[in-house]
Structure 1
Protein backbone atom coordinates (compact mmCIF):
# COMPACT_ATOMS: atom_id res chain seq x y z
CA UNK A 1 0.00 0.00 0.00
CA UNK A 2 1.08 3.54 -0.58
CA UNK A 3 0.87 6.40 1.88
CA UNK A 4 -1.80 9.07 2.15
CA UNK A 5 -1.61 12.02 -0.24
CA UNK A 6 -4.00 14.95 0.21
CA UNK A 7 -6.11 12.79 2.50
CA UNK A 8 -6.47 10.02 -0.08
CA UNK A 9 -5.02 6.52 -0.23
CA UNK A 10 -3.56 5.75 -3.65
CA UNK A 11 -4.29 2.06 -3.05
CA UNK A 12 -8.03 2.67 -2.61
CA UNK A 13 -10.66 2.77 -5.31
CA UNK A 14 -12.01 6.32 -5.15
CA UNK A 15 -15.80 6.62 -4.99
CA UNK A 16 -16.50 10.20 -3.77
CA UNK A 17 -19.50 10.74 -1.51
CA UNK A 18 -21.37 14.04 -1.29
CA UNK A 19 -22.00 13.24 2.39
CA UNK A 20 -19.05 15.14 3.79
CA UNK A 21 -18.12 18.62 4.87
CA UNK A 22 -15.32 20.64 6.43
CA UNK A 23 -14.08 19.66 9.86
CA UNK A 24 -14.21 22.37 12.52
CA UNK A 25 -11.12 24.59 12.42
CA UNK A 26 -8.24 23.51 14.61
CA UNK A 27 -9.88 20.13 15.33
CA UNK A 28 -7.18 17.46 15.64
CA UNK A 29 -7.97 14.14 14.00
CA UNK A 30 -7.29 11.73 16.86
CA UNK A 31 -9.80 8.87 16.73
CA UNK A 32 -10.46 5.94 14.40
CA UNK A 33 -13.90 4.32 14.46
CA UNK A 34 -14.52 0.82 13.09
CA UNK A 35 -17.98 0.07 11.72
CA UNK A 36 -19.67 -2.73 9.83
CA UNK A 37 -22.17 -2.57 7.00
CA UNK A 38 -23.94 -4.99 4.69
CA UNK A 39 -26.62 -4.15 2.14
CA UNK A 40 -29.09 -5.73 2.18
CA UNK A 41 -28.49 -6.87 5.76
CA UNK A 42 -26.27 -9.97 5.93
CA UNK A 43 -25.69 -9.98 2.16
CA UNK A 44 -22.30 -9.17 0.66
CA UNK A 45 -21.01 -7.89 -2.64
CA UNK A 46 -22.88 -5.78 -5.12
CA UNK A 47 -23.06 -2.02 -5.63
CA UNK A 48 -25.37 -1.12 -2.75
CA UNK A 49 -22.88 0.33 -0.24
CA UNK A 50 -21.45 2.62 -2.93
CA UNK A 51 -25.00 3.61 -3.86
CA UNK A 52 -25.94 4.39 -0.25
CA UNK A 53 -22.87 6.56 0.32
CA UNK A 54 -23.51 8.39 -2.97
CA UNK A 55 -27.23 9.00 -2.25
CA UNK A 56 -28.18 6.74 -5.16
CA UNK A 57 -29.72 3.75 -3.36
CA UNK A 58 -32.86 2.73 -5.29
CA UNK A 59 -35.72 2.33 -2.78
CA UNK A 60 -37.42 -0.35 -4.89
CA UNK A 61 -34.37 -2.65 -5.30
CA UNK A 62 -34.95 -4.30 -1.89
CA UNK A 63 -37.59 -3.81 0.84
CA UNK A 64 -34.93 -2.66 3.32
CA UNK A 65 -33.74 0.04 0.94
CA UNK A 66 -37.15 1.74 1.10
CA UNK A 67 -36.42 2.41 4.80
CA UNK A 68 -32.90 3.82 4.36
CA UNK A 69 -32.56 5.27 0.84
CA UNK A 70 -33.11 8.82 2.12
CA UNK A 71 -30.24 8.66 4.63
CA UNK A 72 -27.22 10.85 3.95
CA UNK A 73 -24.31 8.92 5.42
CA UNK A 74 -20.74 8.08 4.50
CA UNK A 75 -17.47 6.77 5.83
CA UNK A 76 -13.91 7.55 4.91
CA UNK A 77 -13.19 3.96 3.88
CA UNK A 78 -14.81 0.60 3.25
CA UNK A 79 -12.95 -2.70 3.33
CA UNK A 80 -14.88 -5.31 1.36
CA UNK A 81 -14.80 -9.00 2.27
CA UNK A 82 -12.16 -9.71 -0.41
CA UNK A 83 -9.94 -6.92 0.97
CA UNK A 84 -10.81 -4.30 -1.66
CA UNK A 85 -10.33 -0.84 -0.21
CA UNK A 86 -12.78 1.90 -1.23
CA UNK A 87 -12.47 5.55 -0.22
CA UNK A 88 -15.51 7.82 -0.10
CA UNK A 89 -14.22 10.85 1.82
CA UNK A 90 -10.70 12.32 2.12
CA UNK A 91 -9.36 12.02 5.66
CA UNK A 92 -9.07 15.79 6.08
CA UNK A 93 -12.84 16.11 5.50
CA UNK A 94 -15.59 15.14 7.94
CA UNK A 95 -17.44 11.98 6.89
CA UNK A 96 -20.93 11.43 8.27
CA UNK A 97 -20.36 8.05 9.91
CA UNK A 98 -20.72 8.30 13.68
CA UNK A 99 -23.95 10.21 14.25
CA UNK A 100 -24.72 11.08 17.86
CA UNK A 101 -21.57 9.88 19.59
CA UNK A 102 -19.13 10.44 22.43
CA UNK A 103 -15.56 9.26 23.11
CA UNK A 104 -13.93 9.85 26.51
CA UNK A 105 -16.44 12.58 27.31
CA UNK A 106 -16.06 14.42 23.99
CA UNK A 107 -19.15 14.45 21.77
CA UNK A 108 -19.51 14.77 17.99
CA UNK A 109 -16.96 12.12 17.02
CA UNK A 110 -17.36 12.92 13.30
CA UNK A 111 -15.51 16.18 13.98
CA UNK A 112 -12.26 14.46 14.99
CA UNK A 113 -12.42 10.87 13.74
CA UNK A 114 -11.81 8.72 10.69
CA UNK A 115 -14.47 6.09 10.00
CA UNK A 116 -13.69 2.73 8.46
CA UNK A 117 -16.51 0.38 7.45
CA UNK A 118 -15.94 -3.35 7.16
CA UNK A 119 -18.31 -5.20 4.88
CA UNK A 120 -19.91 -7.53 7.38
CA UNK A 121 -22.34 -7.83 10.24
CA UNK A 122 -22.20 -8.22 14.00
CA UNK A 123 -22.39 -12.02 13.99
CA UNK A 124 -20.51 -12.97 10.80
CA UNK A 125 -16.75 -13.46 11.19
CA UNK A 126 -14.70 -10.94 9.23
CA UNK A 127 -12.20 -12.27 6.68
CA UNK A 128 -8.44 -12.56 6.98
CA UNK A 129 -8.14 -10.21 4.00
CA UNK A 130 -10.19 -7.59 5.85
CA UNK A 131 -8.05 -7.79 8.98
CA UNK A 132 -4.81 -7.59 6.97
CA UNK A 133 -5.97 -4.58 4.95
CA UNK A 134 -7.38 -2.93 8.09
CA UNK A 135 -4.09 -3.28 10.01
CA UNK A 136 -1.99 -1.93 7.12
CA UNK A 137 -4.44 0.92 6.52
CA UNK A 138 -4.45 1.89 10.19
CA UNK A 139 -0.65 2.08 10.18
CA UNK A 140 -0.70 4.30 7.08
CA UNK A 141 -3.28 6.58 8.67
CA UNK A 142 -1.31 6.75 11.92
CA UNK A 143 1.74 8.00 10.00
CA UNK A 144 -0.22 11.06 8.85
CA UNK A 145 -2.35 11.34 11.99
CA UNK A 146 -0.08 10.29 14.91
CA UNK A 147 -2.67 11.37 17.50
CA UNK A 148 -4.60 8.23 16.49
CA UNK A 149 -2.79 5.90 18.85
CA UNK A 150 -3.78 2.26 19.21
CA UNK A 151 -5.73 3.26 22.33
CA UNK A 152 -7.79 5.65 20.19
CA UNK A 153 -9.12 2.93 17.87
CA UNK A 154 -12.67 2.05 18.82
CA UNK A 155 -15.90 0.55 17.57
CA UNK A 156 -19.11 2.34 16.66
CA UNK A 157 -20.77 0.50 19.54
CA UNK A 158 -18.30 2.08 21.97
CA UNK A 159 -19.05 5.67 20.94
CA UNK A 160 -22.82 5.16 20.52
CA UNK A 161 -23.75 2.55 23.14
CA UNK A 162 -27.37 1.48 23.10
CA UNK A 163 -27.78 2.96 19.62
CA UNK A 164 -25.20 0.98 17.62
CA UNK A 165 -23.76 -2.53 17.95
CA UNK A 166 -21.12 -2.65 15.20
CA UNK A 167 -18.62 -3.99 14.49
CA UNK A 168 -20.19 -6.56 16.82
CA UNK A 169 -19.07 -9.61 18.75
CA UNK A 170 -17.67 -11.24 15.61
CA UNK A 171 -14.96 -8.58 15.42
CA UNK A 172 -11.69 -9.84 16.92
CA UNK A 173 -10.14 -6.88 18.70
CA UNK A 174 -7.34 -9.07 20.07
CA UNK A 175 -6.44 -10.22 16.57
CA UNK A 176 -6.38 -6.66 15.26
CA UNK A 177 -4.03 -5.66 18.12
CA UNK A 178 -1.80 -8.64 17.29
CA UNK A 179 -1.65 -7.62 13.61
CA UNK A 180 -0.95 -3.99 14.50
CA UNK A 181 2.01 -5.11 16.63
CA UNK A 182 3.50 -6.83 13.55
CA UNK A 183 2.89 -4.03 11.00
CA UNK A 184 5.32 -1.16 10.57
Structure 2
Protein backbone atom coordinates (compact mmCIF):
# COMPACT_ATOMS: atom_id res chain seq x y z
CA UNK A 1 0.00 0.00 0.00
CA UNK A 2 1.40 3.40 -1.02
CA UNK A 3 1.56 6.30 1.43
CA UNK A 4 -1.33 8.23 -0.12
CA UNK A 5 -3.49 5.09 -0.11
CA UNK A 6 -2.62 4.71 3.57
CA UNK A 7 -3.70 8.30 4.30
CA UNK A 8 -6.99 7.84 2.44
CA UNK A 9 -7.63 4.75 4.55
CA UNK A 10 -6.93 6.75 7.71
CA UNK A 11 -9.56 9.30 6.71
CA UNK A 12 -12.16 6.55 6.68
CA UNK A 13 -11.23 5.18 10.12
CA UNK A 14 -13.71 5.70 13.00
CA UNK A 15 -13.30 8.73 15.27
CA UNK A 16 -13.74 8.97 19.00
CA UNK A 17 -17.29 10.36 19.49
CA UNK A 18 -16.20 12.63 22.36
CA UNK A 19 -12.87 14.08 21.26
CA UNK A 20 -13.31 13.80 17.49
CA UNK A 21 -9.85 12.28 17.19
CA UNK A 22 -9.06 9.24 15.13
CA UNK A 23 -8.57 5.96 16.92
CA UNK A 24 -5.68 4.83 14.69
CA UNK A 25 -1.94 5.46 14.85
CA UNK A 26 -1.59 8.93 13.26
CA UNK A 27 -1.13 10.51 16.70
CA UNK A 28 0.68 7.61 18.39
CA UNK A 29 3.28 10.09 19.69
CA UNK A 30 2.78 11.97 22.93
CA UNK A 31 4.29 15.16 24.34
CA UNK A 32 5.34 15.00 27.99
CA UNK A 33 5.00 17.78 30.56
CA UNK A 34 8.39 19.26 29.68
CA UNK A 35 7.73 19.38 25.94
CA UNK A 36 9.60 16.27 24.84
CA UNK A 37 8.19 13.79 22.34
CA UNK A 38 7.60 10.27 23.61
CA UNK A 39 7.08 7.32 21.30
CA UNK A 40 8.39 5.13 18.54
CA UNK A 41 11.15 6.55 16.36
CA UNK A 42 12.06 9.45 18.65
CA UNK A 43 15.71 10.17 19.43
CA UNK A 44 16.46 12.78 22.08
CA UNK A 45 19.75 14.70 21.93
CA UNK A 46 19.31 17.76 24.16
CA UNK A 47 20.86 21.02 22.98
CA UNK A 48 21.96 24.01 25.06
CA UNK A 49 20.81 26.32 22.26
CA UNK A 50 17.46 27.53 23.50
CA UNK A 51 15.78 30.45 25.24
CA UNK A 52 12.50 31.37 26.91
CA UNK A 53 9.13 31.46 25.19
CA UNK A 54 6.99 34.60 25.33
CA UNK A 55 3.86 32.45 25.59
CA UNK A 56 3.00 29.63 28.04
CA UNK A 57 2.99 27.01 25.25
CA UNK A 58 3.83 27.14 21.52
CA UNK A 59 1.26 28.82 19.29
CA UNK A 60 2.78 28.05 15.88
CA UNK A 61 4.94 25.63 13.90
CA UNK A 62 7.48 26.57 11.22
CA UNK A 63 8.88 24.21 8.58
CA UNK A 64 12.45 24.26 7.25
CA UNK A 65 14.72 21.93 5.31
CA UNK A 66 18.32 21.23 6.26
CA UNK A 67 19.89 21.62 2.78
CA UNK A 68 21.99 18.56 3.60
CA UNK A 69 22.11 15.06 2.14
CA UNK A 70 20.14 12.07 3.49
CA UNK A 71 21.69 10.51 6.57
CA UNK A 72 22.84 13.77 8.16
CA UNK A 73 19.99 14.42 10.61
CA UNK A 74 21.69 12.64 13.50
CA UNK A 75 25.03 14.39 13.03
CA UNK A 76 23.27 17.76 12.83
CA UNK A 77 21.49 17.05 16.11
CA UNK A 78 24.80 16.12 17.74
CA UNK A 79 26.45 19.28 16.40
CA UNK A 80 23.99 21.61 18.12
CA UNK A 81 24.23 19.91 21.51
CA UNK A 82 26.90 22.46 22.45
CA UNK A 83 27.41 26.13 21.70
CA UNK A 84 30.51 28.32 21.66
CA UNK A 85 29.52 31.97 21.61
CA UNK A 86 31.42 33.92 18.99
CA UNK A 87 32.44 30.74 17.20
CA UNK A 88 29.32 28.71 16.37
CA UNK A 89 26.40 29.99 14.35
CA UNK A 90 23.48 30.66 16.71
CA UNK A 91 21.11 28.14 15.18
CA UNK A 92 18.99 25.30 16.53
CA UNK A 93 15.60 23.65 16.06
CA UNK A 94 13.19 21.56 18.03
CA UNK A 95 12.97 18.48 15.81
CA UNK A 96 14.75 17.28 12.68
CA UNK A 97 12.89 14.59 10.70
CA UNK A 98 15.19 12.20 8.85
CA UNK A 99 14.38 10.67 5.50
CA UNK A 100 13.95 7.38 7.38
CA UNK A 101 11.26 8.95 9.56
CA UNK A 102 13.39 9.24 12.72
CA UNK A 103 12.45 12.25 14.85
CA UNK A 104 15.61 13.81 16.30
CA UNK A 105 14.52 16.19 19.07
CA UNK A 106 17.05 18.74 20.31
CA UNK A 107 14.95 21.32 22.19
CA UNK A 108 11.78 20.73 24.23
CA UNK A 109 8.69 22.50 22.90
CA UNK A 110 8.37 24.61 26.06
CA UNK A 111 11.64 26.35 25.21
CA UNK A 112 12.39 28.51 22.19
CA UNK A 113 14.80 27.21 19.54
CA UNK A 114 16.88 29.53 17.32
CA UNK A 115 15.47 28.64 13.91
CA UNK A 116 14.21 31.94 12.45
CA UNK A 117 15.95 35.22 13.22
CA UNK A 118 13.34 37.44 11.58
CA UNK A 119 9.61 37.98 11.82
CA UNK A 120 6.69 37.97 14.23
CA UNK A 121 3.36 36.15 14.18
CA UNK A 122 -0.04 37.11 15.50
CA UNK A 123 -1.50 34.79 18.10
CA UNK A 124 -4.66 33.16 16.72
CA UNK A 125 -6.81 31.70 19.45
CA UNK A 126 -9.47 29.01 19.29
CA UNK A 127 -13.10 30.10 19.59
CA UNK A 128 -15.00 27.49 21.56
CA UNK A 129 -14.83 24.16 19.72
CA UNK A 130 -11.21 23.45 18.86
CA UNK A 131 -12.22 22.05 15.47
CA UNK A 132 -13.72 25.36 14.30
CA UNK A 133 -11.60 27.73 12.24
CA UNK A 134 -12.77 31.00 13.84
CA UNK A 135 -10.12 32.99 15.66
CA UNK A 136 -9.29 36.37 17.14
CA UNK A 137 -6.01 38.18 16.54
CA UNK A 138 -4.75 38.70 20.08
CA UNK A 139 -1.10 39.76 20.11
CA UNK A 140 2.22 39.35 18.32
CA UNK A 141 5.33 37.36 19.19
CA UNK A 142 8.78 36.79 17.72
CA UNK A 143 9.01 33.50 15.84
CA UNK A 144 11.72 32.02 18.04
CA UNK A 145 9.75 32.88 21.17
CA UNK A 146 6.51 31.21 20.17
CA UNK A 147 6.94 28.72 17.29
CA UNK A 148 8.14 25.14 17.07
CA UNK A 149 10.91 24.81 14.49
CA UNK A 150 10.95 21.59 12.43
CA UNK A 151 13.78 20.74 10.03
CA UNK A 152 13.22 18.26 7.20
CA UNK A 153 16.38 16.41 6.24
CA UNK A 154 17.19 17.06 2.59
CA UNK A 155 17.15 19.77 -0.05
CA UNK A 156 13.38 20.16 -0.41
CA UNK A 157 13.13 18.49 -3.81
CA UNK A 158 11.57 15.23 -2.63
CA UNK A 159 10.37 13.81 0.67
CA UNK A 160 10.29 10.11 1.47
CA UNK A 161 7.16 8.32 2.62
CA UNK A 162 8.64 7.66 6.11
CA UNK A 163 9.59 11.34 6.40
CA UNK A 164 6.09 12.53 5.50
CA UNK A 165 4.58 9.97 7.87
CA UNK A 166 6.93 11.17 10.62
CA UNK A 167 5.85 14.76 10.01
CA UNK A 168 2.20 13.75 10.25
CA UNK A 169 2.84 11.93 13.54
CA UNK A 170 4.71 14.97 14.90
CA UNK A 171 2.03 17.42 13.81
CA UNK A 172 -0.70 15.27 15.32
CA UNK A 173 1.16 15.17 18.64
CA UNK A 174 1.74 18.93 18.91
CA UNK A 175 -1.81 19.74 17.80
CA UNK A 176 -3.09 17.40 20.50
CA UNK A 177 -0.78 18.90 23.12
CA UNK A 178 -1.01 22.62 22.30
CA UNK A 179 -4.15 23.09 20.14
CA UNK A 180 -2.26 25.03 17.48
CA UNK A 181 -4.56 26.64 14.92
CA UNK A 182 -4.13 25.15 11.38
CA UNK A 183 -3.13 28.52 9.89
CA UNK A 184 -0.35 28.63 12.49
CA UNK A 185 0.93 25.12 11.71
CA UNK A 186 2.05 25.86 8.14
CA UNK A 187 4.58 28.67 8.62
CA UNK A 188 7.35 28.65 6.04
CA UNK A 189 10.84 29.95 6.74
CA UNK A 190 10.88 31.59 3.29
CA UNK A 191 7.75 33.60 4.12
CA UNK A 192 9.58 35.48 6.88
CA UNK A 193 13.04 35.72 5.30
CA UNK A 194 12.40 35.69 1.53
CA UNK A 195 15.67 37.36 0.52
CA UNK A 196 17.77 34.58 2.05
CA UNK A 197 15.62 31.47 2.48
CA UNK A 198 13.68 29.17 0.16
CA UNK A 199 12.71 26.44 2.60
CA UNK A 200 10.67 24.37 2.94
CA UNK A 201 9.82 24.89 -0.76
CA UNK A 202 6.86 24.24 -3.06
CA UNK A 203 6.94 20.44 -2.78
CA UNK A 204 6.39 20.59 0.97
CA UNK A 205 3.83 23.37 0.61
CA UNK A 206 1.77 21.09 -1.62
CA UNK A 207 1.98 18.29 0.96
CA UNK A 208 0.82 20.43 3.88
CA UNK A 209 -2.95 20.10 3.28
CA UNK A 210 -2.53 16.33 3.42
CA UNK A 211 -0.75 16.54 6.77
CA UNK A 212 -3.25 18.98 8.19
CA UNK A 213 -6.26 16.87 7.27
CA UNK A 214 -4.69 13.96 9.10
CA UNK A 215 -3.75 16.01 12.17
CA UNK A 216 -7.01 17.95 12.47
CA UNK A 217 -9.40 15.24 11.30
CA UNK A 218 -11.09 17.40 8.70
CA UNK A 219 -11.52 17.49 4.94
CA UNK A 220 -12.18 21.25 4.77
CA UNK A 221 -9.31 23.60 5.56
CA UNK A 222 -9.08 27.40 5.86
CA UNK A 223 -7.16 29.34 3.23
CA UNK A 224 -3.47 28.68 3.97
CA UNK A 225 -1.86 30.62 1.12
CA UNK A 226 -1.10 33.66 3.27
CA UNK A 227 0.87 31.58 5.75
CA UNK A 228 2.67 28.81 3.84
CA UNK A 229 4.55 31.07 1.42
SS at match of 2:150: strand
Residue 107 of structure 2: which of 71, 85, 89 is its match?
89
- Which residue of the partner structure matches residue 79 of structure 1? 97
* Cα offset, 1:20, TM superposition: 0.5
Q: What are the residue-to-residue correspondences of 1:153-164 with 2, within 5 Å? A: 153=185, 154-164=187-197
CA contact 2:117–2:144 (8 Å) conserved in 1: yes
- Which residue of the partner structure matches residue 54 of structure 1? 81
CA contact 1:14–1:87 (8 Å) conserved in 2: yes
Q: Is 2:36 aligned against 1:18? A: no
* Cα offset, 1:79, TM superposition: 0.4
**What is the total number of aligned residue pairs between the two structures?**
166
- Which residue of the partner structure matches residue 117 of structure 1? 151
- Which residue of the partner structure matches residue 181 of structure 1? 213
Structure 2 CA distance for aligned equivalents of residues 4 and 28 of structure 1: 12
More relative contact order, 1 or 2 (CA 8 Å, 6+ apart): 1
Q: Which runs of 5+ in 1 are unaligned?
A: 57-68
Q: Is 2:29 aligned against 1:2? A: yes
* Cα offset, 1:50, TM superposition: 1.8
Structure 1 CA distance for aligned equivalents of residues 29 and 121 of structure 2: 30
Q: Is 2:182 aligned against 1:150? A: yes
TM-score using structure 2 length: 0.65
CA contact 2:168–2:214 (8 Å) conserved in 1: no
Q: CA RMSD, aligned part only?
A: 2.3
Q: Which runs of 5+ in 2 are unaligned?
A: 1-27, 123-138, 218-229
Structure 2 CA distance for aligned equivalents of residues 44 and 55 of structure 1: 23
In structure 2, relative to structure 1, the CA distance for the partners of 1:179 and 1:170 (3 Å cut) is closer
